[in-house]
Amino acid sequence: MSNLVPRDLPLPLPAPAWLLEFLLVSSFMLHILFVNLMVGGSLFTVFYQWKGKTDQRFEELAYLVAKTLTVNKSLAVVLGVGPLLCLNVLYTTFFYSANALTGTAWLMIIPLISGAFLLTYLHKYTWHNNSLSRGSHRLIAIFAAILFLIIPFIFLANANLMLFPERWGEVKGFFTALLLPNVFPRYLHFIAASVTVTGLFLIGYLGRNKDPSSIFQREPNFLFEARRSLYSLCFVITAAQFIIGPLVLFTLPSHGISGAMLGFLLIAIAMAMVLLKFLYQESKNPTPQLSKGFLRIVFLFTVIVAFMVSIRHMYREQALSAHKQIQKEKTQAFLDESAAAAIQAKSPVAEVSPQEKGKNAFASYCSGCHAEATVKVGPALTEIRGIYKTDTAGIVKWAKAPGKKRPGMAMPSMNHVQEDDLDAIAHWILKAK
């Protein structure tokens, strides 16, 4: 199992590991929040617009959601840079190895995300454009949502693969990486969380526009109706997480699970049960307001997410701990060997005669292309002697800034070679004193 752990990069971490881990976990939490809002927002837009076919109020609701989507997606990207930075520094070899193994798919995240973003703008800015049929307008949102549903697979395959160097040998490209245990349960867990996060966000966001012409000012009851159904949805999805969650846990290879992690998990599950009760209560509330009931749900949910993100990190550390230890020893052994070899290689330099110097320098710098009497790549020395006779300076000048006289490959400049070496070479070629 240790065979596939590569050496680490031999540069020190830029900060203590605990600080980097703290930055990773906290910035990742912010990032994933907006990723959830992005993916969830895309799904809600499609859903509300579809309901809007028969009920115009939902069409207006869909537009409200679509407008938040284009903002949230930008924040999701920019907030992803921080955790990616920490991940790259802390888990350099594990992460990059996973990237290389899923290479082409990993690369595809760039065009896929760009494409999804462009579609969300197209969708938003053609909303009131009558040249587009409503059907094709809805189709744009559906295409964007499909992209937003595909892209997480690539991230999850990488986040999963980097944890298990012992499985790297089995992987041949992205699709086999996808088939490792845990990727699909984790995907479901993530999509469910995206719907819940976006649902809670919308409960708080809808009705904020106090403009009397806006939909919820015109129809206050519709606001309560929308909030109630969002609470119901959050309740159902959170209840489903009680099935998906264990599925995620049981498909995780057990060597990464620690006692502390299970302890944290139990606390989180207990809090989730309370959350479930609160969600149920609010879904039965005829006039749900943004007061105590809502705030305690948001607070509890945030704490649960913080726990989950920390548990995720604890698993990663535990799963990689043996590999990291092997890596540390391997890296140190390599550095020691390298330093010893460097000392060994330093041999004293002997004094040489000018002719000898020219001969050696010719062998280093020129013999790849030039030979005494045959044409290797460039002309033979016999021919060069015929051209330059005794003009050593002419050879030096040409070598520093070669022109092109004959077909085939042009000679590269020898500007990087020391002046006295060039001079010695020219003297040696022309057998000059």
State which of positions 352-411 bind another protein (CB under 8 A): 363-369, 376-377, 404, 408-410
Report H helices in 162-219: 174-178, 183-205, 215-218
- Angstrom distance (rounded) from CA 176 to CA 396: 58
Is residue 100 near another protein by the rule CB under 8 A? yes
Distances (CA, A) of 331 to 1, 129, 338, 396: 17, 61, 10, 45
CA–CA separation, 278 and 30 (whole Å): 24
Residue 80's identity, in one-letter code, is G
Q: Which residue has the tokens 């710098």?
A: 365
Q: How far is the CB of 407 from another protein (least distance, A)?
A: 11
For another protein, the binding residue among 89, 191, 275, 395 (CB under 8 A) is 89
111 CB neighbour count, 10 Å cutoff:
10
229 binds another protein (CB under 8 A): no
Q: What is the DSSP letter of 28?
A: H
| The only residue of 56, 88, 302, 321 in contact with another protein, by rule CB under 8 A | 88
- Amino acid residing at 361: A
What is the DSSP-derived secondary structure letter of residue 375? -
- Total chain residues near another protein (CB under 8 A): 81
| Comparison of 51 and 330: residue with beta carbon closer to another protein | 330
Check binding of 41 to another protein (CB under 8 A): no
Give the angle subtended at the CA of 141 by the CAs of 136 and 142, to the nearest 5°: 85
Binding to another protein (CB under 8 A) within 109-168 occurs at 109-110, 113-114, 117-118, 121, 168
d(CA 431, CA 244): 83
Binding of residue 77 to another protein (CB under 8 A): yes
Closest approach of Cβ 224 to another protein, in Å? 28
In the complex with another protein, the residue whose CB is nearer, 255 or 406, is 406
Strands, E assignment, 112-200: none
Considering only the stretches 93-101, 200-208, 215-223, 315-323, report the one whose residues sit in contact with another protein under the rule CB under 8 A.
Answer: 93-101
- Pick the closer one to another protein by CB: 177 or 430: 177
Residues 176-205 that bind another protein (CB under 8 A): 176
Q: Is 345 in the site for another protein (CB under 8 A)?
A: yes
Q: Examine residue 93 and tell whether it contacts another protein (CB under 8 A).
A: yes
State CA 64 to chain mean position distance. Answer: 30
CB of 74 to another protein, least distance (A): 5
Q: Tell me: does residue 17 bind another protein (CB under 8 A).
A: no
Residue 344 lies near another protein (rule: CB under 8 A): yes
Judged by CB under 8 A, does residue 19 bind another protein?
no
* Among the residue ranges 132-140, 233-241, 272-280, 335-343, the one whose residues contact another protein (CB under 8 A): 335-343
Site for another protein in 244-273 (CB under 8 A): none
Structure tokens at 48: 């509300």
Rounded distance between C-alpha atoms, residue 278 and residue 284, angstroms: 10
Residues shown for the chain: 433
Distance (Å, whole) CA 140 – CA 120: 8
